[in-house]
A and B are shown apart, each in its own frame.
Chain A
Amino acid sequence: ETGVTQSPTHLIKTRGQQVTLRCSSQSGHNTVSWYQQALGQGPQFIFQYYREEENGRGNFPPRFSGLQFPNYSSELNVNALELDDSALYLCASSSGTGGTGELFFGEGSRLTVL
């Protein structure tokens, strides 16, 4: 186990609704990254937070937003849900913003949008 916990593990929403996913990072890690993994695809980078500031963003629209808290836990918010938002959302924590890219992933939150 990586020590990264995500909640909820599964959820179902309808198109147009809003969702908040939560992540508790591994002890000692100050950086959190969020990824979207559609079925049969590799994870796609959404954004990264370092010391409560957004520190890099992938090709996702502004309705994907996030927060990082002083204890380095994080939230991913998605507004105006679309069917294509159905995916596994992965949170990964790491220490610092440089280096070899070793991320510690949680088990993900599986979102289904109907």
Chain B
Amino acid sequence: QKEVEQDPGPLSVPEGAIVSLNCTYSNSAFQYFMWYRQYSRKGPELLMYTYSSGNKEDGRFTAQVDKSSKYISLFIRDSQPSDSATYLCARSYGGSQGNLIFGKGTKLSVKP
């Protein structure tokens, strides 16, 4: 079993829809959870991070961690065509900032 599992999609939604992206993880020792966004032909950029469990909101984006079920979610409200990208979930133990374990990524397309 991979440490971080993510449905690769692709996922296609109309503009304005609420998008739900999900990951599961297998190791309870994970401390930090992140969502990265990767546009085509670009490097990933950090979108949001959370520590331990709970919700974190930033504008149209909400990240949620449920440690009891080992589930990570990213919600995008009022999705825009500019949100079309690949979304990668990642986890870190926290001890080594550079050592992130990424999921495969979910490719999202928001249609105008």
Which positions in A face B, CB cutoff 8 Å?
Answer: 2, 4, 31-33, 40-45, 48, 55-56, 58, 90, 92, 94, 96-108
Contacts and interface: CB of A to CB of B under 8 A. Distances in A.
Q: How many B residues touch the partner, as a band?
A: 20 to 34
A43 B4 CA distance: 12
Contacts of A106: 43
B32 A108 contact: no
B17 interface: no
A102 B94 CA distance: 11
A41 B90 CA distance: 13
A33 B6 CA distance: 23
Nearest to B101: A45
Interface stretch (B44-52, B58-66, B67-75, B76-84): B44-52
B25 to A, nearest CB: 13
B32 A100 contact: yes
Contacts of A32: 98
A31 B97 contact: yes
A104 B104 CA distance: 19
Given A40-B104, A107-B41, A56 B46 contact: no
B21 interface: no
Nearest to A48: B98
A102 B98 contact: no
B95 A98 contact: yes
A105 B44 contact: yes
Contact of A56 (B45, B51, B96, B105): B96
A31 B95 CA distance: 14
Contacts of B46: 101-104
Contacts of B44: 43, 90, 103, 105
Interface in B89-112: 90, 92, 94-105
18 contacts: A4-B43, A31-B98, A42-B6, A45-B98, A45-B99, A45-B100, A48-B99, A58-B99, A90-B43, A90-B44, A94-B98, A99-B97, A100-B51, A101-B46, A102-B49, A102-B97, A103-B97, A105-B44
